[in-house]
Structure 1
Amino acid sequence: MSKIAKSDLRYEYSWKATAGDNPHLIHNDARHLSRKEGYEMLDFLNHLGWASDNKTVVYNAGADMSEEFRLYVEWMLKEKFESTAPGRPKVVDWINDNWQSLKTSFKALKPKKA
């Protein structure tokens, strides 16, 4: 899969684990996705793939997803998703419900960080 690296992310994140979090046990550690913690966002984005219909986003499975689409999902989650403590399945459902309609308001990725 076309994985993205920390340096590819377009938003600022905390890279320190908060109390109760372990960045080495991301799947077991957090049922919820913290959109402020870089290690959680990076792991989440890199575990997205396409279902066999090539229109449905799946987590921890599926066909290759482009780096550009992963960064588009980052934008969606940082700019448009409003839940305060989203469970990962809820996030994937929200992505599937909104990725096509939000494309019209997505102009361009934020410039890469220097």
Structure 2
Amino acid sequence: MPKLTRADLHYEYSWKVSEGDNPKLIKEDANHLSRKEGYEMLLYLNGLAGADNADLDKRTRLIVEWMLKEKFKSTAPSSETVTSWVVKNFAEMKKSYPR
């Protein structure tokens, strides 16, 4: 599976671990996705899979990054809420991806 790296991301993020966060456990125990924290975004984006667990390419993951940074308006979204929103909106929003 083609994973994104820090260098692949198009937005600025904080890479300092916040108090109470463990970047190795974010996927398992976080109640929400912080779109300002680079390690959380990388874990989230790299954890995405398509229908039937299909592999996603880097461009698809970067489109999701753009969607979350530019189009998603919740302040403290749960990972489940984010994923549901991405699935619902991806096909239409990818048409306006600027890169």
Give your verdict on TM over 0.5. Answer: yes
Runs of 4+ with >2 A deviation: none
1:1-114 counterparts in 2 under 5 A?
A: 1-52=1-52, 62-108=53-99
Tell me if the contact between 1:22 and 1:29 (Cα under 8 Å) persists in the aligned partners.
no
* Equivalent AA in structure 2 for residue 80 of structure 1: K
Offset at 1:84?
0.4
SS at match of 1:49: coil
Offset at 1:76?
0.4
* Equivalent AA in structure 2 for residue 100 of structure 1: A
Offset at 1:21?
0.9
Gaps of 5+ in 1: 53-61, 109-114
Tell me if the contact between 2:26 and 2:40 (Cα under 8 Å) persists in the aligned partners.
yes
Tell me if the contact between 1:50 and 1:63 (Cα under 8 Å) persists in the aligned partners.
yes
Query: In the comparison of the two structures, how many residue pairs are matched?
Result: 99
Tell me the alpha carbon deviations over residues 12-66 of structure 1, each in whole angstroms, 9 at most, x when there is no partner.
Answer: 00001112111122123412100000000000000001113xxxxxxxxx11100
**Distance verdict in 2 for CA 1:24–1:102, change over 3 Å:** same
Gaps of 5+ in 2: none
- Alignment RMSD: 1.1
Q: Distance in 1 between matches of 2:29 and 2:80?
A: 15
**TM-score w.r.t. length of structure 1:** 0.82
**TM-score w.r.t. length of structure 2:** 0.94
More strand by share: 1
Q: Distance in 2 between matches of 1:45 and 1:103?
A: 15
